[in-house]
Amino acid sequence: MKKIAVFPGSFDPFTIGHESIVRRALPLFDEIIIAIGYNSTKSGFFPLEKRERWIKQVFEGDNKITVTKYEGLTVDFCKKNNSNYILRGLRTSSDFEFERGIGQMNKKLFPEIETIFYLTKPENTPISSSIVRDIFKHGGDVSQFIPKGMNLNE
Ligand code: ADP
């Protein structure tokens, strides 16, 4: 059976922290689905279509990676896509507390699911989409925090 992992997130925007998690997880799986979670009543900062296009550009040519968006429960998305693995990143102890709750509840909802955590590379620990967004909103240069070639003005 193919080993498929789902990497869910808002990716508003995708950062080098997210990219690093995907690249480190690649040797472990046959396929990784980067799944942009959205809520039709609450839009993010960057339009969903742009977020999706940027991530597709980053992994262009890598046939083990697909990028898509989804609404609803992550475990339902995993079931639909024959995935038993959720990837998440851990930067700090507060990430851990947050992720523990979600991961344990997901396990209750879908016992076959395993959440795989990657410890952030030290240099990526302070990088978050919300700080990158704030820098961008105020006209700062975010290029060192987002994947090479990604342009938030496009
Ligand atoms: P969510 O809204 O679901 O938290 P995010 O897009 O903020 O979505 O994050 C998706 C995943 O990526 C989460 O597991 C988060 O902890 C992880 N992540 C975010 N930033 C980094 C980073 N700099 N290094 C490693 N993992 C990260």
The number of domains in the chain is 1
Ligand 1: does its nearest atom lie under 6 Å from the Cβ of 95? Answer: yes
CATH number of 65's domain: 3.40.50.620
Backbone angle region of 50, left / alpha / beta, with phi > 0 → left and psi within -120 to 50 → alpha: alpha
CA of 7 to the centre of ligand 1 (A): 9
For position 41, what pLDDT does the model report? 82
CA atoms within 13 A on the CB side of 71: 7
Out of 54, 94, 120, 125, mutate this one to test ligand 1's pocket (max ligand atoms within 8 Å of CB): namely: 120
For position 80, what pLDDT does the model report? 98
- Residue 142 domain-assigned (yes or no): no
- Residue 146 domain-assigned (yes or no): no
Ligand 1: does its nearest atom lie under 6 Å from the Cβ of 91? Answer: yes
For position 128, what pLDDT does the model report? 97
Q: How many residues does the chain have?
A: 154
- Residue 148 domain-assigned (yes or no): no
Residuewise pLDDT in 10s, the chain (154 residues): 899 999 999 999 999 999 999 999 999 999 999 999 998 888 899 999 999 999 999 999 999 999 999 999 999 999 999 999 999 999 999 999 999 999 999 999 999 999 999 999 999 999 999 999 999 999 999 999 999 989 999 9
CA of 68 to the centre of ligand 1 (A): 16
Amino acid letter, residue 139: G
Decide: 58 and 151 in contact? Cβ < 8 Å: no
Query: Which two tokens mark 7?
Result: 């990497």
CA 45: distance to chain centroid? 16
Out of 7, 16, 18, mutate this one to test ligand 1's pocket (max ligand atoms within 8 Å of CB): namely: 18
> 3-class SS at 14?
coil
Domain span at 121: 4-137
Output the residue whose Cα is nearest ligand 1's atom 18: 89
For position 137, what pLDDT does the model report? 97
